[in-house]
Every structure is written in structure tokens, then in C-alpha cells.
Amino acid sequence: MYEQVSHSLLNDILNHIKPEISRQDLRHFYTRLGANFYAIHSLFYKLYGQRDDFEQQAQRLVETMARQYLNRSDKLKQLDIIREKDYNWFLSQKWVGMALYSNGFAGNLKGMKSHLNYVQDLGVNLLHIMPILRCPEGHSDGGYAVSDFREIDPRIGTLDDLHDLAEAMQQRDMLLTLDVVLNHTSNEHEWAQQARAGSPDYQDYYYTFDSRNIPDMFEQSMPEIFPENAPGNFTWDQEMGRWVMTVFNSYQWDLNYSNPAVFIEMLDIILFWANQGADILRLDAVAFLWKKIGSSCQNEREAHLILQLLKDCCQVTCPGVLFIAEAIVAPVEVTKYFGEDAVIAKECEIAYNATFMALMWDAVATKNAKLLNQGIKSLPVKLERATWLNYIRCHDDIGLGFDDQDIVLAGYNPANHRKFIIDYFIGKFDDSHARGVPFGQNDKTGDARISGSLASLIGLQYAIELGDEKAIENAIKAILLLHGLILSFGGIPLIYYGDEIGTWNDSNYLNEPEKMGDSRWVHRPTIDWNKANRRHTSGTIEYKLFSAIKRMIAVRKEIEVFADFNNRELIESNNPHLFVFGRYNLIKPSEEVLVVANFDVKPQSLALTDVKNWASGQRGQLVDLYSGQKPDLFKKTLIIPPLTFYWLTEV
């Protein structure tokens, strides 16, 4: 694509731009548009260049961006400029996130505002509020089946409530993250209604077919995402008299991004939420955005082009807003959602680190870090100006998304090992205290995933039910160990609401017809505020967990090497129970922090002489920054108590 082609198209577009737009002050917008238009044009051309109406579509694209720029408040435009200057702002260790459902956490959006003190007390300054948009009363996949992308679910509140909340958060220097469900709509969305009523334009918003011919071809290579509740990837719609692609649940219709109208609508929606004050947008299910017969319909090259184009367009209208890629895919595929061959993120600045999450659960079950070490070693290095979202639990199930090759290298048989992990977490073995619930069992492939809250999976629920003090102590330690890792690994830690007070599984979903078939509801709690208030009473479990995590967060914020500049080095020790890595600062080597985690229920040792730069005694004495204690050393060997982590520095 020649630069001249994009320039002359841009000139044409600007000459034809609607007068109500061109009359306004668009200085910053035009500068950014000029800088980004070559990229925008070439991506838009790659995706839609073969169409006769390409130029009209490009005109609509630019007008959409310009209109939303004009809708953006001066305050947010100011913030864009500040963040453009301080472009590494989100890599800082000062950010600590929490994901929560506003209704489960605080009843509704108004309640959220009055509970900000609670999260702030913990040290959290980034909230991911789970889907809040209008969705059907019954089946809505927890809000991921959206029926109106511009309206808030009245059960949760109003747009005014959201503005109030966003403003209150801004005053507290907290970041707001909202979902944009890009891949599909609810079958009750207006577009789906129009398609059902026979509109060919709206049928083209989705993948609809009059016969099984093409669906059958697709099915040959498409896996099933929800095999129990929604087998197959197509649903017959009686009213429309056509098949429609529904990769997730049958009521979630996949959007057709080969239609530029869909792309422009969804960009407009992204910009709309950016203008409502969201600092970060979580783009749901991004791996699925492009469908191609003969492929798994995940991680297709065009899905990446769509994300790059969305990013480039946002850079023009709202450059201060970041994207989170929710791509729960193979380790080698995940890092591609930052964008390849670049320094700055070309697609999403942040991505869920599902690999690390699953590997940590593997270490919990096996009580060793063999696969964890191997998996992290294989994780491709990410871009410089991009960061991970590190989490232990979230609203979804745990999928064992690590690589078979890594399982082999760790010394296991993949199929047996995966089965062992699933069986362990659903509590099949005598020595397993886990109370997980199976999810997504697929008898055809043997695949299975796990639901359950952190406290229940780690054995805290079991230990309390049994009154086993020793087991309670171990479960608490394990919960803190995992938090010690997500807070130090590099990236934004995302705590899952309720975990900070040890919330158990909640089986109430089994009484609700629209939830009972989806075990993920077992770990989407309604916070018991009486329980939460016990965090003030010393000696209680809630106190032990909350105060420890609070301390960890406070300490993290002080440790500059915990900022994410790809400054982590995995350290392979001879002890398989340990997960060890260094966080360093090339300019100030004395600031290095050595993170050591022992997944075993017995004490383990680490020969410091094996750890480069850490042959203790050279620089002084070891201190754990979290506890302030000097750890036990025997000769030149560090002793790590059971289920304990250290953030070590030498003083």
C-alpha cells in the first residue's frame, strides 16, 4: 500500500466530512488521524478492500471516530494528553486490580460507590466491574449476552450511577475497567431481532445459513466451547428459518466481522464506553473474532488485524484508554495479542496471563513447581510496552491451558497428568482437600475444566468444616503464597472479589433454573458483609487473609523492580518444589528482589550458591520485604518453610 493512496483517500474523506463535524475544533484529532491513517487505511483495506463500497465505509469509519472525539469530555481529553506523555504509566507497580460483579459485591452500581473504601483499604486501585450492560432477564451468561450495548442493566443501575462511580473513582486515583463483548450479541439484541424479522442487512451482521451445508463444513474443525450446555457451534432459529453461528451458548450469536458495518458499530461502542469514563476496556473472547472454514476459528490472522485496527482507531479518538485481551488460548498464541514485531502494543496493552494461572494451580495440586518452571520458561517474551494481568481466580473456570510438550518436559504423561489435576481439584483423592466442581466436561475429547472459589479449591473450606487447625493454617498459607506470586511476577495483579476474605463455594446457583447448568456460578459470590467485617477482628481467618494481602499490596507498591519492564529472570534451582525468580533493575542492581515460593507442605531448601548474584553474605544480610524478617539460613542454604513465599533483598 503506497502512502500516497492513503493520503489521497484521507483528503477525499476530509473534503466530504459532514459539515456539523468539520465545523468543530478537531486539532488534536487531525494530528493523530494523520499520524495513524496510513496504518488504519492499510488494515481496513486488508480486511475490506475487495468491496465496492470500500471508500464509503472508510468515510463512515473516520466520521465515527470524529463524532466520538467530539463527544469526549475535556477532562478525558486532558487525561489522554497526560497519558500520551507518560506512556509507561500502566507498567508501574502501583496498580493493583480487583474483578467483581457489582451486584454480588455491593448490590448495584450505587452500592459500589459506597463500598469503594473497602477496596481502597485493601490497596486496590483498579476495578474490573463485570458486565453491566442490558441483557435478557433469564439466560444471559452472566451479562456476556448483551441485548443493548449502550444501556446499563436496570437491575444494576443507570448511566448516571456509572458516571457518579467513575468520578468518585477518579478522585481516588482508581482505574475503571469495563467489558466490551465484541464477539457476539444476545439473540434479543435489536440486530438479531431485525435479522429474525427477515432483514438481509442484519442477517449479514451474523453468520446465518439456510442449510446445514456450510455449518457442517465449519463443524469439522471447530471445537466446542461449552460442550455440556451448548454442543455444536450453530443453532436453528425457528423465526428466522435459518441456522446461526453460536460458538458459546445458543443464545449468543456470533458477529460477522467480515462485514465492515459490524466493525464500525463495535468501534463506535468501544469509543462510547471510553467516553463514559472507562480507563480500560476488557475485550471479551478476542481469539474468536474471525471465522474461517477449515480452521478452529480461533487466533486467525484477521482477528489480529481487527484488534490492530481497533487500537489504531482508539489511538486517534481516545489514546489514554487501554485494552485488555481476554484470550484464553495456548501460551504461544497469547503473546500475539499484544501485537507482533513491535515495541509498543499494537493490539492490546494488557492480556490475561491464563498460562501462569493454570500453572500455579498445577503446582498447588502436585506440591511442586516442575511444570510451573517449565511452562514459564516456554512462555514467549512479550513486548516491552505491554503487560500481563496476573490472576489466581476469575469468574470463569480454570482450564488446563498449558502445553502438552511442557508436560512431557516436566516428566509427566499429558493425558494422565491432566486427569490427575482435574481429579485432584474435584476432590477425588483422599489427600486432596479441594472442593472443585467439574465444568465443560467433553466426553468426546476427554477434556474437562474446573470451577470453584480459591478458598474451596485450596482446601480452606474442607479444613474449616473439619475443624482441622493445621489444615486451616496450610490453606491460609497457600492462599497467601499465590497472592505473593501474582503481586510480584510482573504485571497487574487482579484479585478476585471475595478471595481476600476466603469466600467459599456458593451452591445457591443450583436452585436457579437459568444458572444450575453452569457450574461457574459456584464461584460468583454475593459478599457476606458480616463475614467481611470480621477482617477487623484479629485472630479470624478474614483478618489473617485481608491484613496479609493488604500488607503485601502496600509493600509491592514500594518495590520499584516490581514494575513490569520485562525485568524478570526465572532461576532454575535444583529443588523441584521451588519456584524462584529475580526481579531486577539494570541501572540499580542493588535493588534486585529474589522471589522464592515453596509449594510443598514440608520445608525446602535453596542453595544460594546456585543462584547467580545471590551467594549470600556478599552484599549483606537477607531480608524478606513482605514480613520484614530474616529468613533461616543453614550454611549457605536458605530454608523456606512449607507453603511460604519470600520477597528477598540484601541489606
Instruction: List residues near ligand OTU by CB under 6 A.
Output: 141-142, 144, 181, 225, 248, 284-285, 287, 326-328, 395-397, 399
Q: Residue 385 has which C-alpha cell? A: 510496552
CB of 52 to ligand OTU, least distance (A): 33
CA pair distance 612, 374, nearest whole angstrom: 19
Letter for the amino acid at 253? W
Considering beta carbons, is residue 84 or 333 the nearer one to ligand OTU?
333
Q: Residue 201 has which C-alpha cell? A: 442487512
Considering beta carbons, is residue 396 or 624 the nearer one to ligand OTU?
396
Report the sign of the C-alpha dihedral through residues 2, 3, 4, 8, in that order: positive
The count of residues in the chain is 651
CA pair distance 64, 60, nearest whole angstrom: 6
CB of 284 to ligand OTU, least distance (A): 5
The H or E element that residue 110 is part of is helix 109-114
CA pair distance 283, 266, nearest whole angstrom: 11
* Distances in whole angstroms, Cα of residue 159 to Cα of each of 70, 162, 166, 552: 19, 5, 10, 35
Q: Is 600 a catalytic residue?
A: no
CB of 248 to ligand OTU, least distance (A): 4
Letter for the amino acid at 79? L
For 11-59, the DSSP string reads HHHHHHS-HHHHTS--HHHHHHHHHHHHHHHHHHHHHHTTSTTHHHHHH
CB of 62 to ligand OTU, least distance (A): 30
CB of 355 to ligand OTU, least distance (A): 13
CB of 142 to ligand OTU, least distance (A): 6
Q: Which residue is catalytic, options 80, 279, 284, 396? A: 284
Considering beta carbons, is residue 225 or 476 the nearer one to ligand OTU?
225
Torsion angles phi and psi, residue 489, rounded to 5:
-65, -30
Considering beta carbons, is residue 225 or 594 the nearer one to ligand OTU?
225
CB of 226 to ligand OTU, least distance (A): 7
CA pair distance 37, 206, nearest whole angstrom: 28
Count of CB atoms situated within 10 Å of the CB of 642 = 18
Cite the DSSP H helix spans in 411-468. Answer: 414-425, 454-458, 460-466
Considering beta carbons, is residue 49 or 399 the nearer one to ligand OTU?
399
Name 596's Cβ contacts closer than 8 Å, sequence gap at least 6: 578, 579, 580, 606, 638, 640, 645, 646, 648
Residue 30: Cβ-neighbour burial (10 angstroms; 0-12, 13-18, 19+): middle
Considering beta carbons, is residue 101 or 424 the nearer one to ligand OTU?
101
Considering beta carbons, is residue 49 or 223 the nearer one to ligand OTU?
223
CA pair distance 558, 92, nearest whole angstrom: 11
Torsion angles phi and psi, residue 262, rounded to 5:
-65, -45
- Calculate Rg over the CA atoms of the chain: 25
Q: Residue 171 has which C-alpha cell? A: 478522585
* Distances in whole angstroms, Cα of residue 288 to Cα of each of 92, 142, 156, 388, 452: 30, 19, 28, 20, 25
CA pair distance 24, 418, nearest whole angstrom: 59
Q: Is 284 a catalytic residue?
A: yes
Considering beta carbons, is residue 187 or 368 the nearer one to ligand OTU?
187
Considering beta carbons, is residue 64 or 235 the nearer one to ligand OTU?
235
User: Residues 563, 93: contact at Cβ < 8 Å?
Assistant: yes
User: Residues 102, 108: contact at Cβ < 8 Å?
Assistant: yes
CB of 148 to ligand OTU, least distance (A): 16
Q: Which residue is catalytic, options 188, 326, 403, 600? A: 326
CB of 361 to ligand OTU, least distance (A): 14
User: Residues 317, 207: contact at Cβ < 8 Å?
Assistant: no
Q: Which residues are catalytic?
A: 284, 326
